[in-house]
Amino acid sequence: MDFLPIFINIKNQNCLVVGGGEVAARKVTLLLQANAHVIVVSPELDEKLNAQLNQGNITHRAEYFHPEHLANVILVIAATNDRATNQLVSESAKILRIPVNVVDNPDLCSFIMPSIVDRSPLLIAVSSSGKSPVLARLLRAHLETIIPEAYGRLVNYAAQFREQVKQHFSHPQKRRLFWEKHLQGSFSEMVLAGKDQAAKNYLANALQGEIDDIPPGEVYLVGAGPGNPDLLTFRAMRLMQQADVVVYDRLVSPAILNMVRRDASRIYAGKERNKHTIPQESINNLLVRLAKEGKRVLRLKGGDPFIFGRGGEEIETLTDHHIPFQVVPGITAASGVAAYAGIPLTHRDYAQSCIFVTGHLKNDSINLDWPTLARPQQTIVIYMGSLGLPVLCQQLISHGLPDTMPAAIIQQGTTQKQKIIIGSLKTLPDLTAAANLTPPTLIIVGEVVKLHPKLTWFQPIENTSQSSTSPSN
C-alpha cells in the first residue's frame, strides 16, 4: 500500500484550509461535515466561502499563508493554484508533523483525500493513492448505487445491541457468527424496509434463543487457482471472508492471500523441495485441532485441492475425526496456465488426449510410466518438473517421442510475472537453464504447443517480452 487508510476524528478540532476558491470551498464543506473548526487563510474568498463566513461556520484570515498559521491546528489542506504556496504549506506542516494534503499534488501530501460514500456512521473511502482521482470517483459512484441509504440505520441498530451480544456470548467467534447471520438475514431486511420495531424485536428474540457454547468448527478446503485472483470462484471468495484461520500453501499468491479476512490468523504450511515447513501428517492433525477449537478453518491450496494437492488425504483425516468440511474446486494449473499461455491442451488436429503427471526427482531419476506418456497425439502436462526437466525430456525421447516435439515451460502462469519459454524436447532444458525462471513452473509437451504464437493473448505488464522461442530442431 502506498498509503495507510485511516479515519481521523476531527470533531471540534482546528483544521486549516489555505485557499479561497472553488476547490477550497469543497474541502471546507467536507471538514464541516466532520464537525471541525475550520480556519481559511486567503486574501479573498469566493461566493461559497463568503456564505460560510457570513453564517459563522468558518474563521477567515485575509492574509497570505505564513507558517505561523499552523499554530494549534491538527490538519492542513492546501488548495491554491500557486505551486510555491502549496509547497511552502507542505514543507511547513511536515516540519511540525501535521498531516497535510495538497490538492492534485500527491508528491506534496502526507495524506490524501479519498472519494467517500457516506452512510453515516458507515463510511466507505475509495482511493487511487492520488494517481487517478477520476477513477476513484467513478468507483464511488458505482458503490453509491448498490449500497442502500438505510445502511446507516442498520449500523445504529446493531450498535444498540452490541453490548448485549457481548454479554450474552463469552466466545468471540460465537458473537461473530451471530452478527454475520443476522446482518445478512431477516434483521437486516427489516431495517432496510423501515420496519424498525419489528427489527428490534426480532434481534432481541434471536439473541435470547442462542446458547452460549463453543460453536462447532468446520474446514473449508478451497482451491486458490493458479495465482490470478480474478480466477477465484464466488464460493471461494465467500468462504475466505468467513474463516477464522487460514492454513495456506507456498503456491498461494500474495494477491490471493490478501483477500482473506483481515483479522483471520495465518499459518504457513508451504512445501518446497527438501524443505517442508510442516509435514503433511502434522497439517492433517492441525486442521482437526483447529476445528475442534470451534474455528472455521480455511485450507487454502494453489490450483485445485484434488489435483496433486493432497486434499484427499486431508479430508480423510477430517472424516476419521468427524469434522465437517466443504470442498471448493479451483482452476488447476494445467488448464489455467495453459489458457493464459495460448496453448490449448486438446485440439482435434493435434491432440485427442491429455495427461497430468508430477515431475519430482528422486535419487536423480523420475519413476513414470514412460511408454504411456510417449504416445502420439497426446498432450503431457508436468507439474513441479523444472529441476528434473533434462531427465524428463531425455526419457520421453528415449521412449519414442521425436526430439523435435514442441515443448514449453511457463513461469508463474496467469500472473503479471508470467514468462513462457518455447522450444523442443531437445532444446528446452538449455533454454530453461539460461532463462533463470522463478517457480512455480509448468511444463507442456505436445504438438499443441505449436499454437502458442497464433493463440497467445495475455500480455503481462511486468514483461515487455512474454515468451522466448527457439527452432524445434
Residue 234 grid cell: 464466488
Query: Which residue, 92, 113, 134, sits at the end of a domain?
Result: 113
Domain at 191, CATH number: 1.10.8
Whether 345 maps to a domain, the answer reads yes
User: Is 400 assigned a ligand-binding role in the annotation?
Assistant: no
Whether 124 maps to a domain, the answer reads no
What pLDDT score was predicted for residue 171?
83
Query: Which residue, 113, 136, 159, sits at the end of a domain?
Result: 113
DSSP for 201-237? Answer: HHHHHHHHT---SPPPPEEEEEE-BTS-GGG--HHHH
The pLDDT tens digits for 363-378 are 667 889 999 999 999 9
- Give alpha helix (H) positions in 55-103: 83-95
Which region holds residue 310: left if phi is over 0, alpha if psi is between -120 and 50, else beta?
left
Cα 171 versus chain centre, distance: 28
Note whether 327 and 405 are same-domain residues.
no
Is residue 174 among the annotated active site residues?
no
Domain count for the chain, please give it: 4
Q: How confident is the model at residue 275 (pLDDT cuts 50, 70, 90)?
A: low
Note whether 393 and 447 are same-domain residues.
yes
Domain of residue 345, residue span: 335-469
The CA dihedral of 346, 349, 350, 355, to the nearest 10 degrees, is 30
Share of the chain above pLDDT 90, in %: 80
The pLDDT tens digits for 70-118 are 999 999 999 999 999 999 999 999 999 999 999 999 999 999 999 999 9
Note whether 446 and 339 are same-domain residues.
yes
Q: At residue 468, does pLDDT exceed 70? A: no
Share of the chain above pLDDT 70, in %: 95
Note whether 314 and 339 are same-domain residues.
no
What pLDDT score was predicted for residue 173?
81
User: Is 113 assigned a ligand-binding role in the annotation?
Assistant: no
What pLDDT score was predicted for residue 464?
45
Taking the C-alpha atoms of residue 311 and residue 326, their distance in angstroms, rounded to an integer, is: 11
Note whether 340 and 321 are same-domain residues.
no
Whether 424 maps to a domain, the answer reads yes
Note whether 223 and 243 are same-domain residues.
yes
Note whether 344 and 437 are same-domain residues.
yes
Domain at 437, CATH number: 3.30.950.10
pTM score above 0.85: no
Note whether 364 and 407 are same-domain residues.
yes
- Higher pLDDT: 316 or 468? It is 316
The pLDDT tens digits for 11-25 are 999 999 999 999 999
Note whether 201 and 225 are same-domain residues.
no
Whether 125 maps to a domain, the answer reads no
Active-site residue (options: 27, 174, 244, 249):
249
Is residue 158 within 8 Å of 183, Cβ to Cβ? yes
Q: How confident is the model at residue 472 (pLDDT cuts 50, 70, 90)?
A: very low
Query: Which residue, 278, 301, 331, sits at the end of a domain?
Result: 331
Point out the least confidently predicted range of 259-268, 322-331, 454-463: 454-463
What pLDDT score was predicted for residue 215?
74
What pLDDT score was predicted for residue 76?
98
Domain at 272, CATH number: 3.40.1010.10
Collapse the DSSP code of 16 into the 3-class scheme (helix H, G, I; strand E, B; otherwise coil) and give the result.
strand
Mean pLDDT, to the nearest integer, of 178-184? 89
User: Is 130 assigned a ligand-binding role in the annotation?
Assistant: no
Whether 141 maps to a domain, the answer reads no
Integer Rg of the chain from CA: 30
User: Is 351 assigned a ligand-binding role in the annotation?
Assistant: no
Using alpha carbons, select from 345, 327, 352, 300 the residue that is nearest to residue 442. 345
User: Is 44 assigned a ligand-binding role in the annotation?
Assistant: yes
Tracing cell 482452476 back to the chain, one arrives at: 331
Give, rounded to a whole angstrom, the gap between the first and last alpha carbons of the chain.
47
Note whether 422 and 340 are same-domain residues.
yes
Note whether 311 and 408 are same-domain residues.
no
What pLDDT score was predicted for residue 364?
65
User: Is 294 assigned a ligand-binding role in the annotation?
Assistant: no
User: Is 304 assigned a ligand-binding role in the annotation?
Assistant: yes
User: Is 43 assigned a ligand-binding role in the annotation?
Assistant: yes
Domain at 101, CATH number: 3.40.50.720
Q: How far is CA 444 from CA 359, 392, 453, in A?
A: 12, 11, 15
Residue 38 grid cell: 475550520
Active-site residue (options: 271, 292, 417, 450):
271
Is residue 295 among the annotated active site residues?
no
Note whether 278 and 340 are same-domain residues.
no
Using alpha carbons, select from 68, 24, 15 the residue that is nearest to residue 42. 24
Whether 282 maps to a domain, the answer reads yes
For 409, list phi and psi in degrees, rounded to 5: -130, 135
Q: Maximum CA pair distance of the chain?
A: 91
